[in-house]
Structure 1
Amino acid sequence: MTPAMKLDRAGLTALRDRERELLKTAAPRIFCCSGTGCHATGSIPLIEALRDEAARQGGGVQVVETGCNGFCALGPVVVMQPGGILYCKVRVEDAADVVASAGGEPVERLLYRDPSGTAVASMDEIPFFALQRPRTLRNKGRIDPENIGHAIAHDGYQGLAKALFDMDPAGIVEEMRASGLRGRGGAGFPTGLKWKFAAASPGDVKYVLCNADEGDPGAFMDRSILESDPHAVLEGMLVAAVAIGSRQGYIYCRSEYPLAIKRLTIAIGQARELGLLGENILGSGFSFDLEIYQGAGAFVCGEETALMRSIEGKRGMPVPRPPFPAQQGLWGKPTILNNVETLANVGRIIRLGGVRYASVGTEGSKGTKVFALSGDVNNIGLVEVDMGTPLSVLVNDIGGGVPGKRKCKAVQLGGPSGGSIPAHLLDTPVDYEAISQAGAIMGSGGVIVMDDRTCMVDMARFFMDFIQDESCGKCTPCREGTRRQLEILTRICEGKGVPGDLRILEDLAAVITDASLCGLGQTASNPILSALRHFRDEFEAHINERRCPAKRCVALLRFEVREDLCRKCGLCHKACPAGAVIWAKKQVARIDREKCVRCLACFQACPFDCIE
């Protein structure tokens, strides 16, 4: 699409209708995922091959490069329209068959197969998609994120037009409050209330910030939204700017997200060209512009005051509150900061109404939530479910459960500042308060599934290592307390723990939580506390019995083969890189300890838990 002039409201509606007609009358289309996950598995050369093949075969088949489709573990993913046929793990050599199947019979070898091995052609019949309710991700895999016309055809910027011409700032704030939308960055603070505080703050200069500094291990929700639907985020920022009277905004995006930054840059340029950013937006007299600020990857800059200091050119370290950013934020001016997922909901809320948004979810948690599902689960990917959906549906139904014959042991929610919910509590609904009562936090939406081979002591040590490394060091409780906790956990995993260690961990947790300056320190001990709450017996086994029940802590393993369990299959022998496993056909394996390098290869290869 090549716009000839800046749009007014009528021009935006006309462009939407025109783009819709173009999509309706288009020839068969091949939507190929081009998010970071599929890039890693070869979607870039695949798209080139599909386009070359479409030109060679003729027939007007269009190849559309989209953002993340969500089914990340099976990429590159291709969707054929019309028909909604899903192809998985498509390779360059499949391009000719894929193009030839447009509008005809599907290529069976490329279809998704359910756990029984049955091929399933339609996306709508695959549980991973069928059980989701995409609203925030409504455009994932459906539009070209680098074509603003596609976004406008799907009602992009209609919420902005309504906010500019049909509502006043106070009405926008009240609509957001009516929606019940809570911040999706982790804290869950009511979005409308935050906007109300900023709108009421005096001053001619105010700022709107987008937090795209997604740093939790296993989290990729915001990155995927930016890569697949950047205009939804821009629209959310624009509506927020109208609500509080801002003229300038910043998107704080981590530099490790080059594709997201590229597509954001393109989207901003396109919006300016159409008059959706800059001066006199849609002829309304309102002006607002924004720019991207690239963060250097510091986890602490996800905290709002540290993020603002970073934009100001200072070291990213938190400052005490109050005053809160809504009164004194960036450069001392009233500022609102929302994360990517929160802002991606705003345009739709304004367009359809807050009451409609609030009709989905629970009493205290409205709408839907996007999760990045990863770990020991069959269907790794991006998932959106209604608030109130049980975690068991997320893990077992949408996620397809744990691979092989393993069992789910726990689910880590909320990233390194979150907690572990054990398998017997998987009926806990996706709800801010319910998840908190179970010992975790909603967080930004990272969900890491852990099977029964996971050591919860080592998992707590892993997250504490991350938090300690990412502590900015400004306040003593966080800087020194987390270091001490990490030392104790490391000692326990090495078989050197003593009975008083657990009490010390809990005492340290209380001090760090109460005395730390920012949210990073205040939640730093959550992984330890939740693990002690639900898996205290594992800690005690490490300390009192010098035994790791999950057989993960190398220092506590003897590296012996249990003869009563050995099936004489030789898988451990084949996996050992040091030749330490001695085995002959129909013979029980044994391990030569002098050759053993304790790499756990034999343990991971054995399906019968014979290695101790």
Structure 2
Amino acid sequence: MGNISEVVKKVANNYQKDPTKMLDVIRDTQAELGQVSDEAIKAIAKEMNVSTVDVEGVVTFYHFFSKKPVGKYAVYLNNSAVSVMKGCYQIAKVFEQEVGCKFGEVSADGKIGLHYTSDIGMNDQEPAAIINGVIFTSLTSDKVKAIVADMKAGKAVKDMVKEYGDGKNQAELIKAMVKNNIQKKGPVLFAPFTPGSALKKALSMTPEQVIEEVKISNLRGRGGAGFPTGMKWDFTRQAKGDKKYIVCNGDEGEPGTFKDRVIFTEIPEMMFEGMAIAGYAIGADEGLLYLRGEYMYLKNYLEDVLSKMRQQGILGKNAGGKAGFNFDIKIQMGAGAYVCGEESALIESAEGKRGEPRNRPPFPAQRGFMGKPTSVNNVESFCCAARIILEGGEWFAKMGTAQSKGTKLLSVSGDCKKPGIYEVEFGTTIQTLLEECDGRGAKAVQVGGPSGVCVDKSKFGQRICYDDLATGGSIIVIGPDRDLFEVVHNFMEFFEEESCGWCTPCRVGNQILLHKLEKVMSGHGTETDLKEMEQWCVTVKSMSRCGLGQTSPNPIYTTLKNFREMYEAKIQKGKDYATEFDLAAAVKDSCAVVGRKPNLGEH
């Protein structure tokens, strides 16, 4: 650790003092100093020629930045719902016992910091944690004891990995214990693919023909919103601007989603090629992959893939052999913020700012990254686009349903024997998927992650598609012995934590909903509370500024609808109001101190 100003100056110079690289500057500064103190914030502001308030705003916005020491070894244990199902808090106790401090604290010697984090994209192999950027999966008590012993001995984190996962997780530039768990391959994503072939075919067409082929396929965005990809590309192509951008949204922060992680690992060439095709279609010469901070372990590998694609002539000057088509791709790392999955918040973050959603209009297609027309698409969408160019839009449109064409990559986790990745044709029912993943005893399935829908057994015949049950990819199986209230509570805590705080309905409304839920769970709820919860759900959904707030009440809203009897069994019947205040408990300690017997009267 060097002098703060010297460290910051060196880091800032590494990024040419580019304000859009603010997240990288802060990340590297924290890596050197162990924290981003007030003094470091002032030094960063000076070197980057921005205000101190701007830097502090970024530092305090992202989960993986901290003004306080995080520890030489910063342990981030996932405590999302599936991790809790798989024993997260039992693992946490072992960490605390072995380290000698609680979660949210750093050991007395400053060596080990214990922190919770909401999701790290490893739901199929929980409990899991990130330690200094290195992933540890399927944690057990014995594994934790060995890890802590290694940390106390000063061992390098990468040397603590005792086993490697399957496929390219074993590659020299990854070397991770992560498993792909590809349970079912389909014709779109996992059929054989020759790098360069899709781009070569696209370049034999006009940009307008490429867009038309994607329109014929009826490809809809695979991130969950389902906006037609061809239409988005067309809007961006027609937008006025001297420069245009392609942005790949690789910030899959929805708890329960990990499909993009497998694409990054096994078929990144297909994704990057899809970005190049999109660049040709809209008239862009630059692409940006926004990669979530939890996937830092994949960055060097992905940079190497890009380097090889440049060497092969697929990217760079005269990309794909097309004279005058110069298209290249950069990677920008996130730093832990669920809201950055929203496209305008992602753009703000990619520009080095707080990841707060923008007012719309203008939409990114009109004014996006760096104020220029930008098409933001999902990782899976770009892969689909590459396959569509190879096989044709009509081929793609033969699969799926009337409003949902092609296949969908699903991340399946929870109470099933075969968690992992499933490429299924749109229109597959929940029941069929449960049979394939061996989760037949489920009493509920969370479709689309916490922001999606919780369905009961009577609805297992519904189809996974935009016509019926839409999903960005997360499918969480909830077994018969689970307390569904605990799952809902976990989801609502997640949304309360991840709200960017910009708009009141989301910032305050989710706190009110969480409090109401806890009141019902404690047995102090009434029918009035249930009615008020429904009203608050509608208010937050309709009045929030972005997709986070508009879907954040769904854990309560959809379980009130589909599991009403669960709530009814908890409330006090025949009352309009039931107090949560326990007067006896409130005066117990004070009465004990003065030696008085409580006189509570009728209370």
| CA-CA distance at 1:510 after TM superposition | 1.3
Residue number in structure 1 paired with 2:227: 189
User: Could you tell me whether the CA contact under 8 Å between 1:36 and 1:259 is conserved in 2?
Assistant: no
Task: Give 1:282 shift.
Answer: 3.1
1:423 aligns with 2:457: yes
What's 1:479 paired with? 507
- 2:300 and 2:456 map into 1 onto residues whose CA distance is 40
Q: Please give the alpha-carbon distance, in whole angstroms, between the structure 2 residues aligned to 1:443 and 1:292.
A: 26
1:295 is matched with 334
1:314 positional shift: 1.4
Measure the CA separation in 1 of the matches of 2:161 and 2:190. 22
SS at match of 2:231: helix
- Contact 2:217 / 2:396 at 8 angstroms: preserved in 1? yes
Q: TM-score, normalised by structure 1?
A: 0.65
Partner of 2:495: 467
Instruction: Tell me which of 177, 188, 200 is aligned to 1:135.
Output: 188
Amino acid aligned to 1:159: A
> What is the CA–CA distance in structure 2 between the aligned matches of 1:521 and 1:513, rounded to whole Å?
6
Trace 1:241-252 onto structure 2 (pairs within 5 A).
241-252=279-290
Aligned length: 419
Distance 1:185 1:47, change over 3 A: closer
Residues 168 and 480 (structure 1), Cα distance of their counterparts in 2 relative to 1, 3 Å cut: same
Which of 538, 543, 551 is equivalent to 1:510? 538
Residue 331 in structure 1 maps to residue 370 in structure 2: yes
Task: Give the structure-2-normalised TM-score.
Answer: 0.66
Aligned-residue identity in percent: 41
Number of the residue aligned with 2:444: 410
Give secondary structure in 1 for the equivalent of 2:201: helix
1:47 Cα offset (Å): 6.7
Any stretches of 5+ residues in structure 1 without a counterpart? 1-33, 49-63, 69-74, 79-87, 89-122, 140-153, 436-441, 547-612
Question: Within 2, Cα distance between the matches of 1:393 and 1:472?
Answer: 37
Instruction: Give the residue type in structure 1 aligned to 2:399.
Output: V
Contact 2:287/2:330 (CA < 8 Å) preserved in 1?
yes
Matches within 5 A, 1:579-594: none
Shift of 1:372: 0.8
Q: 1:545 to 1:455 in 2, by over 3 A?
A: farther
Work out whether residues 35 and 228 of structure 1, in 8 Å CA contact, stay in contact via their aligned partners in 2. Answer: no
Question: Tell me, what secondary structure is at the counterpart of 1:225?
Answer: helix
Deviation at 1:235, TM superposition (A): 0.3
Contact kept, 8 Å, 1:35 with 1:227, in 2: the verdict is no
Q: What does 1:146-157 correspond to in 2, within 5 Å?
A: 154-157=193-196
- Tell whether 2:541 aligns with 1:542: no
Per-residue deviation, 1:44: 7.3
Query: 2-side partners of 1:282 and 1:179: how far apart?
Result: 23
Q: In the TM superposition, what are the counterparts of 1:301-380 in structure 2 within 5 Å?
A: 301-380=340-419
Indicate if the aligned counterparts of 1:327 and 1:333 stay in contact, CA closer than 8 A: yes
Whole-angstrom CA distance in 2 between matches of 1:383 and 1:530: 25
Moved more, 315-324 or 275-284: 275-284
In structure 2, how many angstroms separate the alpha carbons of the residues matched to 1:47 and 1:395?
28
Q: Deviations 1:32-79 (Å, cap 9, x if unpaired)? A: xx999697469976679xxxxxxxxxxxxxxx95359xxxxxx9989x
The superposition leaves residues 528-567 of structure 1 with CA deviations (integer Å, 9 ceiling, x where unpaired) of 1110111111111111379xxxxxxxxxxxxxxxxxxxxx
Report SS of the residue matched to 2:497: helix
Tell me what 1:94 maps to: none
- Unmatched segments (≥5 aa) in structure 2: 1-121, 126-134, 144-159, 171-176, 575-603
Asked if residue 66 in structure 1 is aligned to residue 168 in structure 2, the reply is yes
SS at match of 2:294: coil
Contact kept in structure 2, 1:67 and 1:229, CA below 8 Å: no
Give CA deviations for 1:556-604 in whole Å, capped at 9, x if unaligned: xxxxxxxxxxxxxxxxxxxxxxxxxxxxxxxxxxxxxxxxxxxxxxxxx
What do you get for the CA RMSD once the two structures are aligned? Answer: 2.8
Q: Give, as a single letter, the amino acid of the residue that structure 2 aligns with 1:266.
A: D
Give the secondary structure class of the aligned counterpart of 2:412: strand
The 8 Å contact of residues 186 and 443 in structure 1, kept in 2 or not, is answered as yes
Structure 2 distance, partners of 1:539, 1:172, is 52
In 2, are the aligned partners of 1:457 and 1:531 still within 8 Å (CA)? no
